[in-house]
Structure 1
Amino acid sequence: MSRGTVAVLTTDAVLDRGAIATALALTETGEAHLDIHCLGIESTPPDAYLAGPALMLTMPDRDAAQARALELEAELRPLIPAHRGNVQLHRHHIREGLIGHDVGRIARLADRIVSAAPYGPEPRPLQVATLEAALFAGGLPVIVVPDGGAEIAPSPSRLMVAWDDSREAMVAVRAALPMLRRAGCVDVVIVDPEVQAGDRSDPGGDIALFLARNGARVEVSVLARSRFRVSEVLRRHALDTGAEAVVMGAYGHSRLRERLFGGTTREMLTDARVPLILAR
């Protein structure tokens, strides 16, 4: 792992445990610093009530949010080995309705974020909100790991790039370049390339050349859309080839559209069996 700062934005001591384990492993050598941010997020207490024609609302509970941050810190501190001098825990009070702003300001001071999978058997709205804040407001890459965490070697044997020729995909590739250079193989995967694409005779040739000139060992896989969703094709290929992580652009469509109609980013995040390195 290169120098700099790795960060984990925590809202739940159980759900974020795997992300912390992965971040600890990524910073094991001590060359990079690890910041664990314990977020106490304000929420309006569920005791609004009708008083005649008026709706009576209580104010967001600032004290409860600060207490939650303190509780998170106490729950997570035992996870940090005593010898790890390059790890710090921080408490933050996040204002209601300003998660994007407040979390984005915290996230932007890191070089990369490690995040728990934002979707699971149970709703995880705070994980979704913090992940999106890091991507959109923080503007930095996020490594999303499955529940329980994942082992990402400093020099991975095989990484996969989900390439669709978009701006977001290029941002993700640039963000992941240090890791891509160290990988034994970088598999550039293109699913059902467009007929009108300029490099139809050589799909992926331009990005493969870019990566090769940056020191990566590259191969290109052009896949037919044999399944209903592109995400299913990408996920199956990653598992079949033993990719240690998938690099991809995030939210090429708007977040609202992906929530309403689905999209490759959300579908990959919903069943994150392989770590995803996301940027936009």
Structure 2
Amino acid sequence: MKNVLLLVHDDDGQEARLQAALDLTRALDGHLSCVDVSLYPAFAGDYYYGGGGAAGMLLADERQRESKNKTQVSARLANEGLAWDWTDVTGNFFEAVVDAARLADVVVVNRELERYPYPDMHGVASRILTHVRVPVLAVSSEQRGLKLNRALVAFDGQASSAATMRACVPILRLAEAVEILMVRDGAEQVEPSEAAAYLSRHGIHAEVKIVDDGLQPADRYIMEEIDNFRADYIVMGAYSHGRLMETFGGVTKRMLRNAHIPLLLGH
């Protein structure tokens, strides 16, 4: 895992995304690829009122802001001591990131913006998750920096959960402590003990915790275990059909809304 893809845009979540991506790239001794998106006015919701002329003016303003943003962020990257490249795109976040992710190992976005509804980062993160085949690191807009010492693996025994854990092995290797959490429902395809054995062959020695309680939503147990384990981040499959993630993505959506630590998600 060497290629980190970062969504760049002058919005309330950019600083959190940037700091997380820098910390992750440095920890992996990797390469940071930045895709800077100038949004089409049609994707600006209430900010777009008029026809072609108004749209052209709004797009020109957007490109001017992103040009200034590029100058500032590029100057910062030049002093970070890591390898990076830059691509400018005009369009929308979803298509730009999915296109750029073809040769990425991990994608960095916001799970949502805390103070502003626009851009809709929750929707963007959800759509990206269902279309890329690499882990997505989703961070709060309030996040500052990325700690990788204590990893909580929310494991439901389904294919997406196992695949996400395997893909995140290079990151999990950096952890001082790893815990595998399973909320059992009887539909598991892979046991947590098997997952722990797999990680042990990569030099990762994980503790296993199993919860047998089908009455409460699984994300309640995950949120509780974040505090109990003092987790720095979570690794979990997204939009799978096991109990831990819930049919139709209920747990995934709520974790994207509510998690106060970074999520490493895979689908």
Q: Is the 8 A contact 2:157 2:189 kept in 1?
A: no
- 1:194 alignment counterpart: 185
- 2:143 alignment counterpart: 148
Superposed, 1:114-129 pairs within 5 Å as 114-129=108-123
Shift of 1:122: 3.2
Alignment TM-score, normalising by the size of structure 1: 0.77
Shift of 1:112: 1.0
Larger Rg belongs to: 1
Q: Is the 8 A contact 1:208 1:220 kept in 2?
A: yes
1:133 and 1:196 map into 2 onto residues whose CA distance is 26
Secondary structure, aligned partner of 1:263: helix
Superposed, 1:32-71 pairs within 5 Å as 32-44=30-42, 46-48=48-50, 58=52, 61=56, 63-71=60-68
Amino acid at match of 1:278: L
Shift of 1:68: 4.5
Secondary structure, aligned partner of 2:131: helix
Shift of 1:242: 1.2
RMSD: 3.0
Superposed, 1:244-259 pairs within 5 Å as 244-252=232-240
User: Is it true that 1:214 corresponds to 2:208 in the alignment?
Assistant: no
For structure 1, which segment, 175-184 or 70-79, has the greater mean C-alpha deviation from structure 2 after superposition? 70-79
- 2:87 corresponds to which of 90, 97, 107: 90
Shift of 1:231: 1.1
Instruction: Give the direction of change, closer, same or farther, for the CA distance of 1:223–1:32 in structure 2 (3 Å limit).
Output: same
Q: Is the 8 A contact 1:116 1:145 kept in 2?
A: yes
- 1:184 alignment counterpart: 176
User: Is it true that 1:74 corresponds to 2:68 in the alignment?
Assistant: no
2:68 and 2:89 map into 1 onto residues whose CA distance is 12
- 2:13 alignment counterpart: 15
Q: Is the 8 A contact 1:38 1:92 kept in 2?
A: yes
- 1:237 alignment counterpart: 225
Identity among equivalent positions (%) equals 23
Instruction: Give the direction of change, closer, same or farther, for the CA distance of 1:122–1:234 in structure 2 (3 Å limit).
Output: same
Structure 2: runs of 5 or more not aligned: none
Shift of 1:70: 1.9
Amino acid at match of 1:194: D
